[in-house]
A and B are shown apart, each in its own frame.
Chain A
Amino acid sequence: MRSALSLFALLALSSAAGAADVRVMCYQDGNECDVTAELAKRFEAQNPGTKVILDVVPYKTIVEQLPVQLAAGQGPDIARVTDLGGLSRYYLDITPNLKDARYWEANFGATLPWLRPTPSDKGIYGFMSQLTMTGPYVNKTLFEQAKVTLPGPKATWDEWIDATKRVARATQTPAAMAWDRSGHRFAGPAISHGAKIFDAKGELMLDDGYRTTVAKFVGWNKDGTMLKEVWAGSGGSTYADSIGEFKNARVVMVLSGSWQINRLQKDIGNAFDWVAVPNPCGPAACTGIPGGAAWVALKTAKSPKEAAMFLDFMAQEANYAEFAGRTNNIPAHAGLAKKGVNYAGATPAARAALTTFGSGVANLAPVAYQFQGYKFNRAIMLPTVTRVTQAIVGEMSVDEAIAKIAADMADAVRQAQK
């Protein structure tokens, strides 16, 4: 009896010592978490005793709840995040647990600084699961039905507005255009219209370019060119995408981003033809905003070594290629980008969209990169959503909205620096 008990205790102890759970918080635009789950199973097979627990959550949870959890010292081992700089103080340096840190520097060197809390920092905290770029999608079938020619690659926002309005009228589509309810999406057209976003000291500012974009956008919403319910349908700074309206053919064109390709491929099917088009131009540029999601290890990790091992596994070229290929995403892995990704499951429309976004990277304005990497970029993005909506529904004028964005922005940055 005694020896049986001893054996049981020994087994329990040994299993407790060997088992390590890696908790991963994941959101997906398309099938990113599903593919990760399959990769995780392979990782578990190669590393007996390590279990990857994937918590698939809505994007809102990543944006609103994860930061609070992390501030309270609670959180997963790994998370897929988009607020790269804003959360950087919670990232865990995994360099000591990587098999070959030079491999990471060679392949993710361009984007590793996005995850570092300070420019002088040299730590490795994770990697970009994909690169993204904001940009528009167009319902080509509606253009064909209306017998309107698609504007060319250098067409301006005004020309696109004109063309899509004609299409909407001819095809009785409820609205010509919709933009995701997001300050990030709004920044692309704003920079194209001349917004500099940063002053000489590198601090946020609002200028005529920004004001012009706000005024135009509010006007387009008021005259019915934009589908009003995307922005006016919510209060505060809540995110709302316009892809749902695009999928239902309720708009001719939407401003969203490359991360939606998989969703469009899956959900639209043969219902209509869609294309991604280059970002329309303004007087200053024809830019979108770069970005992406990153897998990061967190200081709250209960299994830091295993978390690093899992990230190392995911970052290996073969696995990364599978992830990018199956999720139809633009890779951030330099070696893979050079070789090209095999988008085996992509339809011709999805492949064309990936090419459009890939070639659009060359047109990104330098300030767009600066904006993406700025720690407090949401200090301008979120008030923009709130105040522009208030201007759309008539609670304030465009000038008042601009003044309020400036005040909210200054307040937020001041508090964050305390």
Chain B
Amino acid sequence: MELVSRLLGGFFNLFEPLFRAGQRWLGFSRLGWLFVAPNLIVFGLFTFLPIVINFVYATTGGVKLYPFDRPFTGMENFGILFECRDYFDIRTCRKDVFWRAMINTAQFSVIQVTLMVGFSLVTALVLNRKIIGRGFWRGVFFYPVLLSPVVVALIWKWLLQTQGVFNAGLVAAGSTPVNWLTEAHWAFSWTVFVSIWAHMGFYTLILLAGLQAIPKEMYEAAEMDAAPPWRTLTRITLPLLMPNLIVVLVLAMIRAVQIFDEVYVLTGGGPGSATTFIVQFIYQTGFAEQIHLYGLAAAASLVLAIGLMALTIVQLRITKASSAGQRAR
């Protein structure tokens, strides 16, 4: 062991002169840039550059793939997306499917995130108690997180299709089969349920970690004061869990806005456009139609990016406010 650490030490000492020279050249305060440079280069190439290229696509038209082959069209793609005769009736919009996708995404995000946070919290509270087989139940709730979204969707499709397991059960019980995936309201409800089922374990884990970080003395003190369970929950558990809840809320919201893979496999965005979300619209416009409208897809993805950016700003504000509140306490 000692030999290994000596060897490693010797290896790193080889770079000592290089770092000293770098420090002399850059000055101490700017040396940090040298250390973060590799990460910045990777970030620049694979994150920042694609964002710039996305702007180029959004402001150009035609069907050519290479940016230099595409004619500049300015804001035309955004104009197409936002062109409506009557903004209160999306059927009058030129790209009505875009608006349907936006509305579906907003509805999905609100419903799914609310339910997701609620279920995750309840599950975390239950799993934090000394129940029989606690380790097993924790594993059960976390297991779906390990599955690929495509696998999740295929499993549920198998259960929900007209000739699926659920309908077989209904028929066996003397009832009539239900079109779980071809009736708009059912299809939408199942997309919400399946996404909660698939991701709840992850958020439960975050909340469980938060619950376990709350000092036991707080609960002992509450018990000594004969505080009822509801008061303990609202006055101790929830306030101290708030930072974790905010993280869960924001992560779940961002993930909900980006929903695609599970739904694409489960319903294909149907019936009609009942479960078409914004990322699917972008994918279909850019890649799944014969005439690939990369520009329009890029414009829609920028609209999505603006939405996500707004959510992130809200998260930062809430986190700051929450931290300030805790410090004040």
Contact = CB atoms under 8 A, between A and B. Distances in A.
Nearest to A404: B96
B144 interface: no
A389 B271 contact: yes
Interface stretch (A114-122, A207-215, A228-236, A363-371): A228-236
Contacts of A378: 289-291
Interface size class of B (residues with CB under 8 A): 35 or more
A160 B97 CA distance: 34
A68 interface: yes
Interface stretch (A32-40, A314-322, A391-399): A391-399
B13 interface: no
A237 interface: yes
B290 A395 contact: no
Interface string A223-244: 0000011001111111010000
A412 interface: yes
A248 B163 CA distance: 10
B182 A233 contact: yes
A416 B291 CA distance: 6
Interface string A38-70: 000000000000000000000000011101100
B318 to A, nearest CB: 34
B269 interface: yes
A382 B271 contact: no
B65 A235 contact: no
A164 interface: no
B272 A389 contact: yes
Given A378-B289, A393-B271, A235 B276 contact: yes
B235 interface: no
A-B CB proximity, top 8 nearest = A235-B269, A378-B290, A234-B268, A235-B270, A418-B62, A393-B272, A71-B65, A232-B271
B320 to A, nearest CB: 40
Residue among A174, A232, A240, A250 with the highest chain B CB neighbour number at 10 A: A232
Interface of A: 63-65, 67-68, 71-72, 83, 86, 174, 228-229, 232-238, 240, 248, 250, 376, 378-379, 381-382, 386, 389-390, 392-396, 400, 404, 407, 411-413, 415-416, 418
Given A393-B184, A415-B62, A416-B63, A237 B284 contact: yes
B81 to A, nearest CB: 12
Contacts of A412: 289-291, 293
Nearest to B64: A71
B139 interface: no
A229 B267 CA distance: 11
B258 interface: no
B274 A235 contact: yes
A68 B163 contact: no
A236 B263 CA distance: 13
Contacts of B161: 229
B59 interface: no
Contact of B271 (A235, A376, A381, A415): A235
A392 to B, nearest CB: 7
Contact of B181 (A233, A240, A379, A404): A233
A169 B119 CA distance: 46
Residue among A386, A407, A415, A416 with the highest chain B CB neighbour number at 10 A: A415
Residue among A63, A236, A237 with the highest chain B CB neighbour number at 10 A: A236
A411 B94 CA distance: 10
Nearest to A386: B97
A418 to B, nearest CB: 4
B150 to A, nearest CB: 13
B218 to A, nearest CB: 50
19 contacts: A63-B290, A67-B292, A68-B287, A71-B65, A86-B290, A228-B182, A232-B270, A232-B272, A234-B267, A235-B269, A235-B272, A236-B270, A236-B273, A236-B288, A376-B291, A382-B289, A407-B94, A415-B61, A415-B62
Contacts of A394: 184, 272
A237 B163 CA distance: 24
Nearest to B162: A229
A334 to B, nearest CB: 30
Interface string B184-220: 1000000000000000000000000000000000000
Interface in B243-271: 267-271
B185 to A, nearest CB: 11
Nearest to B275: A235
B323 interface: no
B273 A72 contact: no
Interface in B284-325: 284, 287-293, 295
Interface string B84-115: 00000001001011001000000000000000
Given A233-B182, A415-B61, A418-B63, A395 B272 contact: yes
Nearest to A238: B268
B205 to A, nearest CB: 33
B182 to A, nearest CB: 5
A86 B291 CA distance: 9
B73 to A, nearest CB: 8
Interface string B52-69: 000000000111110000
A32 B30 CA distance: 63
A279 B185 CA distance: 37
Contacts of A63: 290
Contacts of B184: 393-394
